[in-house]
Amino acid sequence: MISLYVEEADTFLKRFLGLMGRRNLPQGQGLLLSPCSSVHMCFMRFAIDVLYLDDEGRILKIVPHLCPWIGLSLCPGARAALELAAGEAERIGLREGMRLRRV
């Protein structure tokens, strides 16, 4: 079983601020933006992996190493986006089609 500490950004302000202003995102931690089907990297200081999820927590799409400042990505139909440190999705073996659940 894979375990991550996930902070939730479930209000407009929390989603708007996201990871902007932070210096990094520690290994094993993530930020869940919900609802969310796209992310931008304006004012970001570090690259991230983005996992787009459906209503059931299934990974629809993984965008690895989204670049700071210039990165932009979207996944029509996604319900949420989970942001992880760049390389984290591969490190812990996450793949499209896998289902994530809360405990």
pLDDT in tens, 47-89: 999 999 999 999 999 999 999 999 899 999 999 999 999 999 9
pLDDT digit string, tens, across residues 70-79: 989 999 999 9
Checking if the pLDDT of 45 tops 90, the result is yes
Which pLDDT score is estimated for 17?
87
The residues near 11 (Cβ < 8 Å, ≥ 6 apart) are none
Task: Please report whether residue 36 resides in a domain.
Answer: yes
Task: Please report whether residue 99 resides in a domain.
Answer: no
Task: Please report whether residue 98 resides in a domain.
Answer: no
Q: Is the peptide bond before 35 cis (omega within 30 degrees of 0)?
A: yes
Supply the CATH number for residue 79's domain. Answer: 2.60.120.1140
> pLDDT category, 26, cuts 50, 70, 90?
very high
**Which structural domain range is residue 33 located in?**
5-91
Task: Please report whether residue 100 resides in a domain.
Answer: no
Domain count, the chain: 1
User: What length does the chain have?
Assistant: 103
Model's pTM, two decimal places? Answer: 0.93
Checking if the pLDDT of 98 tops 90, the result is yes
